[in-house]
A = this chain, B = another copy of it.
Amino acid sequence: MLDESAKGVFTIAATPFLPDGALDVASIARMVDFYVERGATGLTILGMMGEAGKLSAEESATVIERVCARAGVPVVVGVSAPGFAAIEALTAVAMDKGAAGVMVAPPGSLKTDAQIVGYFRTVAERLRDVPWVLQDFPLATGVQIDAEVIMKIVEACPTMVMLKHEDWPGLEKISALRKASDAGARRISILCGNAGLFLVEEMARGADGAMTGFAYPEMMRDVVTLMAERDETGAREAFDAYLPLIRYESQPGLGLAVRKYILAKRGAIAHATVRAPGPKLSTAAVAEVETLIARQEARLGRV
């Protein structure tokens, strides 16, 4: 079961599809192996990058079952939905299949601090003893959550054990949360998203690791490990080697197609298919990605 001590790299897993858009069940196991072999200490599935909204309930259950059966590391399942009934139902499936916890993003209708705290209080009540992750991603959800409000949720909800941090800019938020726990509040795990674009600084501010799906999980592993060893210079060198591609993959929407292209190229999944509606890479974009990969490999050869 997930708890506040979680750290390392929880890779946001893609959902593999066949060229015709059907779920590619056969690719799931090797994708899981790919992530774990490259340093994933956990996996997060059915998030936004996992195209969760485009799956049927049956497909979601299949993905959960296959990933949990294979992973050997804790699996977090995204269960965000418009109603609490659906959140509860998907959570039951996830925990039954062996997930370590679930992740919930706030619906875009939440505006004020009180609405946000109220929403997550109800989430916690409904999920009873299931540990959960608060996904804080304002660019996608439209919901801005202050550090102070997160600490209210931490206080009100003992089962909230982790923050998926992807506010942007968000470094001061990490500092504020760590200042609060240094002063006596419960210390939750903070894993960072944002495509990894600020991972060194996030770790320096007090994060416990990464939760993002950059197609080279070894980057997150190396940076997180080096920062844990207090080797910031080494971490920055590792990070900078990947930065041109991290940057390219961080393009909203399009980034998912870039990521799946690279995952397919690296053999993690059989096809780069993004289920409709979704972006496609142009010939020019593919050439740009290939150039960035070639340059990255040359740099990594030198490092």
Residues of A whose CB lies within 8 Å of any CB of B are 21, 51, 53-57, 81-86, 89, 107, 109, 111-115, 119, 122, 138, 144-146, 148-149, 168-169, 171-172, 175, 197-198, 201, 204-205, 236, 239-240, 243-244, 247-248, 251-254, 275-277, 282, 284-285, 288, 291, 295
Contact = CB atoms under 8 A, between A and B. Distances in A.
Nearest to A288: B201
A290 to B, nearest CB: 13
Secondary structure dominating the interface of A: helix
B169 A253 contact: yes
Given A51-B83, A85-B21, A171 B240 contact: no
A303 B172 CA distance: 33
Contacts of A236: 244, 291, 295
Contacts of A109: 253
Copies of this chain in its oligomeric complex: 4
A148 B112 CA distance: 10
Given A84-B277, A113-B149, A119-B277, 19 more contacts: A53-B83, A54-B83, A55-B85, A83-B277, A84-B275, A84-B276, A112-B145, A113-B114, A114-B146, A115-B146, A122-B276, A169-B253, A172-B285, A175-B284, A198-B248, A201-B248, A240-B243, A240-B244, A247-B247
24 contacts: A51-B83, A53-B81, A54-B82, A56-B57, A57-B57, A83-B275, A83-B276, A84-B276, A107-B277, A111-B144, A112-B113, A113-B113, A122-B276, A122-B277, A172-B284, A175-B282, A175-B284, A198-B247, A198-B248, A201-B248, A201-B288, A204-B288, A239-B244, A240-B244
